[in-house]
Amino acid sequence: MAFSISNLNGAEPSVENLTEFERKVFQAKRDKELAQANRKRVSYATPSTNTIYAPPVDSNPLAIYGVKDSAVIDDYDVGGGDANSASQDLNDDEQMLGSYNVCHTPKPKARNALARTPARHGDALLFSPASYSPIAGTPRSHSAIAGSGKIVYTFGNPTLIGTAKWASTQQAKIQIKQLLRHNGATLDEPKSNYMYDCLREKCDIAADRIFHIGKELCKKVFGANADNYELSQVDNHSQEITKTIGTICCDHEGPLDPSSTMLAGTDEARCLTVRLNFSKAKSVAVFPGQIAIVSGKNPKGDTFIVDEVLAERQLSPPTAPKLTDPLSFVIVAGPYTHDDDLAYEPLQDLIAYLKEHKPDVLVLTGPFLDAEHRLISENVTLAESFESFFEKMITSIVDAIGNSTTILIVTSHKDANADPVYPTMSVPLRKSFPNVHVLPDPSMIDLNGIVVGMTSTDIMQHIIANELAFNAGDKVKRVVNHLFNQGSFYPLHPPACDEISFDSFLAARYAKIEQIPNILLLPSDQKCFIRVVNGCLAINPGRLADSNGGTFARFVITPPANKEETNICNFVACQIRKV
């Protein structure tokens, strides 16, 4: 196959093509060995001559595909022919080399031309994409393998944790409804165009956002007097405590720091900004794009001396789950293979677990085949399309765990087969599976009376890397509160440019958080966690593929004894487990 692509424009195998393949490969090998022998004779005849020899050039036309010279001949008798015919081929080769007075030592047979990743399971290459290049990587360390099955985080009702089965006890009928809609349509209905937002539209979106969030902030800060209180402009001189509203921004590219943080005012015509001085503030937690009310003094008009940053609005707690039966979940975040191979060993280990503990719901967030994976972006030439490989992966997962588990797949903008933009539309599957639902990123769904928010984008890491925070408490609760108070799955602006292509028009419609969900899934490179924030169970399951051993989350949620019960800690059992 590799020879056909390189030399015959991908022509189908035929007798003539095989003859041409044999002639070129054998002739290249003979020419190389003859040249080496001639160089040796020359060096013996003229020992005093100062000659510099260039290293021999690899004449094997398959070398670029990882096939070595010693493996070329051996592949001809693999799977066909008997020992006598193979021996005769080698003897003929030796006689040919002997006619040139070249010594030749027969080499032992190499049964495999290409290196393969050692397998820990019989189906070790089940999820590996077909390729013309080796996909082997460094074997996993013993320490990573030895930690398999270890529980690294536990949360919830102690009684439920002690009795949890972590698997489906009965085949529950799962009903799913997408809640992120604009005028009744989801991001995929119809398929939306992306990156069409012009500068004027971006300005209008920003103005609408600051109006609606600012109105909610004023209700929290001023209460019943919110409609009568007049906020000052950011550049108004004041030696008394005053309050102004605006958007946090930075005067240079990069994360915020005490000397670069500014506040952009609400006057679109004047586009005013003022520098913020936090020397008098007791605690601060701000990030670019955050809409906040700032309290303090502005004696010169160009620097606002901050006394307090007010960025929390009045939030309604999540509605009580309307469950009738217990549900078990497994939450997994990509990537699903290590960064030095495409063997998908962590995914194989996960499947082994799922075969024994089949949950009611399996949530898989991307990336599944990372477009920036070192082997994909630099070395490996795949023999199948990204779409074909993705479908093969999903088919293998369904075949392994059956149709009783509902599988939710959240697309990632990092996937090689997805549109590289946020919000990210779901990847269509040509084959239909009754228990598989491919969702856009982000998604907010109603699942049998439980509201679940989910994303595959690492907004946790993006905000933490760009925010300015001191004396601000737990960073996990702080960032989750940022999402709720700003009403968005991705409130950071400008976005992390190296990580994401952001569409403001689509995000304003399909990345909003208008209600606090019961469960919020936030995959991140940050350390795995489970927290309750404003009545919402926030979960970071960790990455399935990790050099120190990947992790995933599992939890069981039961119908609350009191139908109006909103404290999710009383009816949930959660664990984060090493794969």
Confidence of residue 438 (pLDDT cuts 50, 70, 90): very high
What does the pLDDT look like over 541-568, one tens digit per residue? 999 999 888 999 999 999 988 877 778 9
Q: Tell how far CA 141 is from the center of its chain.
A: 23
The answer to whether the pTM exceeds 0.85 is: no
User: Above pLDDT 90, what percent of the chain?
Assistant: 56
> Hey, what are 321's tokens?
């789950």
Q: Domain spans of the chain?
A: 2-98, 150-179+319-458+499-578, 201-310
Q: Which residue has the higher pLDDT, 139 or 445?
A: 445
Distance CA(554)–CA(53), nearest Å, equals 63
Q: What's the pLDDT tens digit per position in 206-264?
A: 999 999 999 999 999 998 777 778 899 998 999 999 999 999 999 988 899 999 999 99
Q: Alpha carbon of 432 to those of 13, 424, 438: distances in Å? A: 34, 21, 11
Asked if pLDDT for residue 423 goes beyond 90, the answer is: yes
- Name, of 34-38, 199-203, 408-412, the range with top average pLDDT: 408-412
Mean pLDDT of 321-339: 93
From CA 534, how far away is CA 485, in angstroms rounded? Answer: 11
Question: What pLDDT band is residue 113 in, cutting at 50, 70 and 90?
Answer: very low
pLDDT at 242: 94
Q: Does 27 or 260 have the greater pLDDT score?
A: 260
**Long-range CB contacts (< 8 A, 24+ apart) of 259-268?**
261/286, 261/468, 263/234, 263/292, 263/294, 263/304, 264/234, 265/233, 265/234, 265/235, 266/207, 266/210, 266/214, 267/233, 268/203, 268/207
| Of 6 and 477, more confident | 477
Tell me what pLDDT residue 378 has. 76
**Cα–Cα distance measured from residue 19 to residue 75, given in angstroms and rounded to the nearest whole number:** 15
- Write the class of the CATH domain 150-179+319-458+499-578: alpha beta
Q: Beta strand pairing status for 151-156 and 572-578? A: antiparallel
pLDDT band at 197 (very low <50, low <70, confident <90, very high): confident
**Tokens representing 578?**
């090493």
DSSP per-residue codes, 163-181:
H---S-SS-----EEE---
Query: Which of 562, 516, 507, 485 has the alpha carbon at shortest distance from 196?
Result: 507
In the predicted model, is pLDDT for residue 355 greater than 70? Answer: yes
CATH number corresponding to 201-310:
2.40.50.140
Measured distance CA(131)–CA(373) in Å, rounded = 15
75 versus 327: the higher-pLDDT residue is 327
Centre a 10 Å sphere on the Cβ of residue 31 and count the other Cβ atoms it contains: 11
What SS3 class is residue 36?
helix
Among 180-194, 398-412, 435-449, 483-497, the range scoring the smallest mean pLDDT is: 180-194
pLDDT at 492: 96
